[in-house]
Structure 1
Amino acid sequence: MAPTFSLLSLSLLFFLLLLSPLPSSSQLPPTLNSAKTQFQRLIRGFNLSPKHDVNTGRPGGQSPAVGPAMVEWPLKLPVYGDSGNSIQDLGHHAGYYRLPHTKDARMFYFFFESRVRKSDPVVIWLTGGPGCSSELALFYENGPFQIANNLSLIWNDFGWDQASNLVYVDQPTGTGFSYSSDDNDIRHDEDGVSNDLYDFLQAFFKQHPQYAKNDFYITGESYAGHYIPAFATRVQKGNKGKEGIFVNLKGIAIGNGFTDPEIQYKAYPDFALDMKLINQSDYNSVNELVPPCEQATKICAANGGDSCISAYATCNSIFNEILAITGNINYYDIRKPCEGSLCYDFSNLETLLNQKSVRTALGVGDIEFVSCSSTVYQAMQMDLMRNLEVGIPALLEDQIKVLIYAGEYDLICNWLGNSQWVHAMAWSGQKNFTATPTVPFVVDGAEKGQLKSHGPLNFLKVHDAGHLVPMDQPKASLEMLKRWTQGKLSENESEGRLGLL
């Protein structure tokens, strides 16, 4: 069995930045340079040291515009373990896609064919935040292999490629190995990001037509609570408009996501009190900050622009006040202590992926790995306080399955805030979902969570997990994926399954 690593996903770094102290709205400078400086300082503080603010690709300027739009090659990485399979045997690939509607953008991706059946669904995993890449989720959470302390790769016994044909992309452009030499290619909102992802998906199924009819699922965590609803909505628009290859979208899954800022910020005081992080007196004080946050998010929704930066600062004061009370707490998993200023160490990933031999094996040549891009983060700031829940009801009405899951010990995108926005969401099944009892989620005879389901909507609170459910509960998260994609998450089955709702 692969060991569990106490390493925070790069997707989480975004939320460290999102909820780190900022000036009040009245103190915000006229430019965003201070945010960029803060981003860079926080990266260094967490032992990340990307050499560049954004990935611009090969030295010397633009990439050739000639040649096929998508170029893919087999992965050639040594993996150790007793699986009996080589990485080449399992059909693992990497590639670049030249994004249309850009000057020079190339999106880098990994594709891992299922270890079990090629008929398994195609599952795409989206990274957690604007500015950070997807590779850490791949190598330390639910990918086919993980990075050991000595920088070797070992097989992950609970990789999601055991139940799906798994795709990871570095997005938005400028993160990870995705790059452009032109600043105009940097995205600023969900429309730009989701259009790029849709274009990539069309090219991917053209490249792999044998998978085009497989069930398709969009998954991810953290800030993917923004990306996923927007991308799914774009897929549905393309399907209904017959824009290209029909994408057999069956569902979306968001883990410890950031989706509805107004409701989720309001939940911080309640979660902190319930978990005994603060006392009643503290709660009363912190709760006074909630009404200004609610008002600020409404102004952001109406006006956009700078009002959304002000809303971010106003709502952030709720979280910052809780941290001022709790002190040195690991807010991605309140069970785990931090050592000094560092709660996690990201350095192994950068060390591995920036080795020349590894870059050669990945097929990226001289292109350097940019773990997190301050330029991309800065560009996406107007998007932070948008409410992306608004797109989900239409997906439910189209019978697209929606799974919202959350580890119970995460503070920053806590299960309570996620549960509250799910329950508040207006759709035709809202009353029945609210009235449905919660039942145990059982794996190998042990309760691993609490599930609530009605129709296409599922909410799962995962026990003994923080923000990174696939890392903290690898077996349970793989079982969750299997049952959900097979339509068995809420069925009455044999031992190890759930009770009847």
Structure 2
Amino acid sequence: MKLKLKLLLLLLFILNHHVDSGSIVKFLPGFEGPLPFELETGYIGIGEKEEVQSFYYFIKSENNPKEDPLLLWLSGGPGCSSITGLLFENGPLALKSEVYNGSVPSLVSTTYSWTKTANIIFLDQPIGAGFSYSRTPLIDTPTDTGEVKNIHEFLQKWLSKHPQFSSNPFYACGDSYSGMIVPALVQEISKGNYICCTPPINLQVGYILGNPITSIEDQNYQVPFSHGMALISDELYELYPYYLLSYWINDETVRNALHVNKWSIGEWERCTHLRLIPYNKDINNSIPYHMNNSISGYRSLIYSGDHDLTVPYLATQAWIKSLNYSIIHEWRPWMIKDQIAGYTRTYSNKMTFATVKGSGHTAEYKPNETFIMFQRWINGQPL
């Protein structure tokens, strides 16, 4: 009897701590009623012994998940949780802006979610970002190039567990510091697809980057950009609802609903790169990756908020110009209901550059306009 009890307890422990799988989330604290979309959360083990546990949020397309594109979304930092993108930029839920009263912050549905036309994996990376963690102390310091290989492995393993999405067109996407990671990841996937005995990833189309960091030279454009811009008011500067996110996601009921392992991390932080994550930035310039991806024929959408001081659109324009590709469609406004939403230019290397009028460093400032831009580009339409 004692042996049977021990075996039962062991089985329950394994089931409760089996991290290399996903769980469907039907309800979330702060949102009334069942979620109006399909959300899955889980961990994928990385490495030979799978000490690294990468946490993800996966949301199926609300349109046609069997055929719609599969997107991977990486937030910047390095070290910012991908739920930043999910709840502030392009996901189907957002935190309701309100004064915190001690209860679980409220969530509301959005009208601008990219999941209206695409399946999206929001991945917490590198280790230490969001809910991703390591079972054992890391021997080697995480690096840009190391993360590229880890993310590639994550995708291969995720697709092996979700084979129904293996034929969907795949796009690597992200913003800010992801500008150093995504171009290298696209090249890594492209090369990996030609290696024997590894399942190919359907990278037949391209990648998307918002306000991407490309090299240290991006900083050279901050002063010229600032010279031509007025400063926003203190009141507007102090209005970001990120503090609500910390209250919401650190609530025990929320972490239980997301199927987060209780023993994985302590208090969740939106961006941990400043203090807690040792990280070696060994990709100094991502332009060569852009060039190689262009040679391979991949489409790309590069967009910039025209009020971004961190990575001014002038810097992005400059490195795109350095590629020396012919211009297919000259600088022109792109419109939403007879209103100028930004400006755009397309190049012979299948690259589209666009500004988003009035937006800052991430899409959260103009999510509706960014969604319309994304929807047109993903469907092969002119902006």
Q: Which amino acid aligns with 1:159?
A: S
With structure 2 as the length reference, what TM-score do the two structures score? Answer: 0.85
* % same residue: 26
Counterpart check, 1:154 vs 2:105: no
**Corresponding residue for residue 93 of structure 1:** 40
Change (3 A) 1:114 1:180: same
Counterpart check, 1:480 vs 2:376: no
Change (3 A) 1:79 1:451: farther
Please give the residue correspondences for 1:123-272 in structure 2 after superposition, counting only pairs within 5 Å.
123-148=71-96, 149=98, 151-184=105-138, 187-242=141-196, 244-249=198-203, 250-262=205-217, 264-272=218-226
Counterpart check, 1:380 vs 2:252: no
Counterpart check, 1:371 vs 2:256: no
Counterpart check, 1:413 vs 2:368: no
Structure 1 residues 217-261: Cα deviation after superposition (integer angstroms, max 9, x where no partner)? 111111111111121111111112245221112111111111122
**Corresponding residue for residue 25 of structure 2:** 75
**Corresponding residue for residue 286 of structure 1:** none
What SS is found at the alignment partner of 1:379?
A: coil
**Corresponding residue for residue 396 of structure 1:** 294
Q: Structure 2 regions of 5+ residues with no counterpart?
A: 1-12
Structure 1 residues 433-475: Cα deviation after superposition (integer angstroms, max 9, x where no partner)? 2x74112211222220111002311110111111122x22222
Bigger fraction of residues in helix: 1
**Corresponding residue for residue 121 of structure 1:** 69
How far 1:347 sits from its partner (Å)?
A: 1.9
Measured in 2, the distance between the counterparts of 1:402 and 1:222 equals: 16
Structure 1 residues 12-55: Cα deviation after superposition (integer angstroms, max 9, x where no partner)? xxxxxxxxxxxxxxxxxxxxxxxxxxxxxxxxxxxxxxxxxxxx
Structure 1 residues 315-340: Cα deviation after superposition (integer angstroms, max 9, x where no partner)? xxxxxxxxxxxxxxxxxxx5353689
Contact 2:45–2:51 at 8 Å: present in 1 too? Answer: yes
Contact 2:332–2:344 at 8 Å: present in 1 too? Answer: yes
Change (3 A) 1:230 1:69: farther
Match of 1:448 among 309, 316, 341: 341
Contact 1:163–1:481 at 8 Å: present in 2 too? Answer: no
What SS is found at the alignment partner of 2:330?
A: coil
Change (3 A) 1:175 1:483: same
With structure 1 as the length reference, what TM-score do the two structures score? Answer: 0.66
How far 1:270 sits from its partner (Å)?
A: 2.2
Structure 1 residues 288-327: Cα deviation after superposition (integer angstroms, max 9, x where no partner)? xxxxxxxxxxxxxxxxxxxxxxxxxxxxxxxxxxxxxxxx
How far 1:103 sits from its partner (Å)?
A: 5.8
What SS is found at the alignment partner of 2:156?
A: helix
Q: Which amino acid aligns with 1:337?
A: D
Structure 1 residues 82-136: Cα deviation after superposition (integer angstroms, max 9, x where no partner)? 9xx932x632110111112466211000000011111210111101112221112
Please give the residue correspondences for 1:323-342 in structure 2 after superposition, counting only pairs within 5 Å.
334-337=231-234
Q: Structure 1 regions of 5+ residues with no counterpart?
A: 1-62, 278-333, 491-497
Change (3 A) 1:375 1:466: closer
Measured in 1, the distance between the counterparts of 2:243 and 2:290 equals: 36
Measured in 2, the distance between the counterparts of 1:185 and 1:135 equals: 27
**Corresponding residue for residue 21 of structure 1:** none
Q: Which amino acid aligns with 1:397?
A: I
What SS is found at the alignment partner of 2:72?
A: strand
CA RMSD after TM alignment:
2.7
Change (3 A) 1:376 1:386: farther
Please give the residue correspondences for 1:281-292 in structure 2 after superposition, counting only pairs within 5 Å.
none
Q: Which amino acid aligns with 1:120?
A: D
**Corresponding residue for residue 5 of structure 2:** none
How far 1:390 sits from its partner (Å)?
A: 1.3
**Corresponding residue for residue 355 of structure 2:** 461
Bigger fraction of residues in strand: 2
